[in-house]
Structures are given as structure tokens and as C-alpha cells.
């Protein structure tokens, strides 16, 4: 069975990335397969996991430049789709 856990808050400094990394590492250590998706332009989760933020990122997936599987990176704390500052340029259309 697949479970999705989301840590969401607009407030900065609320330990979302730290909590996400700790949860991913814990679940991975227990034998679960984990995919973290960093959706923050500051890319804190990407940095914490030492993932490459200069390669394929969630921004590339969003704009159709690559598939999800092409953006997945493997780390010691599970898999991650990294982010970078390109996410700061994403506009949300409220239509």
C-alpha cells in the first residue's frame, strides 16, 4: 500500500525540511521505500540530503522537460526529487 505524507506550511523556519528528512531517514531505516519531493525554492531538503540541485529537479518535471523517473535521485535517506531556486519563478494561476 502507498501512503502519502505531506508537510506543508507557508511559514518559513517551521522545521518542515528537517522533519521531512528525519521521517524519510527513519522510514528508510525500517525498510520502507521513500520518495521525498522538495517543492521549496530554497531547496533546504535537497541540501540536507546532499542531493544534486543542479541536475534534473521538480521544476523540470513541472515544465515537462523530463519525466518523474528521470528526476529521482537516490540517497542514503531514500529517494528524492530535488528543487532549486527555479521554483521561485513558478506562477500560480488562480483561475
Residue whose C-alpha cell reads 529517494 in the numeric block: 79
Q: What phi and psi, each to the nearest 5 degrees, are found at residue 3?
A: -120, 140
Asked, for residue 71, whether it belongs to a domain, the answer is yes
For 95, the grid coordinates are: 483561475
For 49, the grid coordinates are: 540530503
How many structural domains does the chain have?
1
Let me know: does 80 contact 37? Beta carbons within 8 Å.
yes
In the prediction, which pLDDT does 54 show?
82
Q: What is the pTM of this model?
A: 0.85
In the prediction, which pLDDT does 14 show?
85
Let me know: does 73 contact 82? Beta carbons within 8 Å.
yes
pLDDT (tens place) for every residue of the chain, 95 residues total: 789 989 888 777 888 899 999 999 999 999 999 999 999 888 999 999 989 878 899 999 999 999 999 999 998 878 999 998 888 877 665 55
Let me know: does 45 contact 18? Beta carbons within 8 Å.
no
Q: Which domain holds residue 49?
A: 35-88
Asked, for residue 3, whether it belongs to a domain, the answer is no
Amino acid at each position: 500500500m502507498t501512503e502519502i505524507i505531506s508537510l506543508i506550511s507557508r511559514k518559513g523556519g517551521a522545521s518542515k525540511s528537517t522533519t521531512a528528512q528525519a521521517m524519510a531517514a527513519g522510514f528508510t531505516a525500517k525498510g520502507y521505500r521513500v520518495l521525498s519531493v522538495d517543492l521549496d525554492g530554497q531547496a533546504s531538503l535537497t541540501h540536507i540530503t546532499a542531493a544534486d540541485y543542479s541536475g534534473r529537479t521538480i521544476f523540470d518535471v513541472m515544465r515537462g522537460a523530463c519525466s518523474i523517473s528521470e528526476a529521482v535521485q537516490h540517497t542514503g535517506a531514500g529517494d528524492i526529487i530535488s528543487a532549486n531556486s527555479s521554483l521561485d519563478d513558478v506562477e500560480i494561476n488562480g483561475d
